[in-house]
Amino acid sequence: MVRKLKYHEQKLLKKVDFINWEVDNNLHEVKVLRKYHLDRREDYTAYNKLSRSVRELAHKIKDIDEKDPFRVQSTGKLLEKLYAMGLIPTKQNLQLCDTVSASSFCRRRLPTIVVKLRMAQNLKSAITFIEQGHIRVGTEVVTDPAYLVTRNMEDFVTWVDSSKIKKHIMEYNDERDDFDLGI
């Protein structure tokens, strides 16, 4: 049994809407944060802003006359950039720019690529490997899980030479060379 609210309590509660609570509107955001193991909410908001600006830019380019050489040139540049980044699957038309979202950027993060390359079983272990300095992209060791990997650099994601995990994998596959890895 609940007591009847006093006058001032009723006045205060008129300002609060418990049915349409503001925090409930970020359900998609929480889903993406959980799916890609994003530690910082700022990363998600940055990806969201970037994707929104890409979509707005695509809509502005669509508004230009189709025969204008500037439209052809800028369309080609935008599609080439998004394709090279790995945000769209092909460079066919501007309609693909509407599919760019924060999840598109999350799919290009280093931990996701590490899982995709089967260097780790799940995102959590991939993030741990990256933070501990076991993964490199090209020649540089990356310790930030928010590092975005382009299509070209995806082939250069490897283990650091001095990594214990690399040594363990090499021993397991009977590929370890004592000269290369040290004893």
Does 9 map to a domain? Answer: no
Residue 43 and residue 87 in one domain: yes
Are residues 113 and 70 located together in one domain of the fold?
no
Q: Domain range holding 84? A: 23-105
Final residue belonging to a domain, choices 105, 132, 164: 105
Q: What is the pLDDT of residue 21?
A: 60
Last residue of a domain, one of 105, 136, 168: 105
Q: Does residue 17 lie within any of the structural domains?
A: no
Structural domain contains residue 123: yes
- Cβ-based neighbour number of residue 152 at 10 Å: 11
The reply to whether 147 and 115 lie within a common domain is yes
Q: What is the pLDDT of residues 131-182, one digit of tens each?
A: 999 999 999 999 999 999 999 999 999 999 888 888 888 888 877 666 654 5
> What is the pLDDT at residue 172?
82
Residues 115, 95 share a domain: no
Res. 20 pLDDT band, cuts 50 70 90: low
Residue closest to 113 by CA, chosen among 136, 90, 81: 136
Final residue of a structural domain among 86, 105, 124? 105
Asked whether residue 94 falls in the same domain as residue 127, the answer is no
As a whole number of angstroms, the distance between CA 84 and CA 181 comes to 34
Mean pLDDT of 94-107: 93
pLDDT in tens, 35-90: 999 988 899 999 999 999 999 999 999 999 999 999 999 999 999 999 999 999 99
Cβ burial 109-134 (10 Å sphere, 16+ → b, else e): bbbbbbbeeebbeebeebbebbeeeb
Q: How far apart are CA 76 and CA 133, in angstroms?
A: 37
Distance CA 4, CA 13 (A): 13
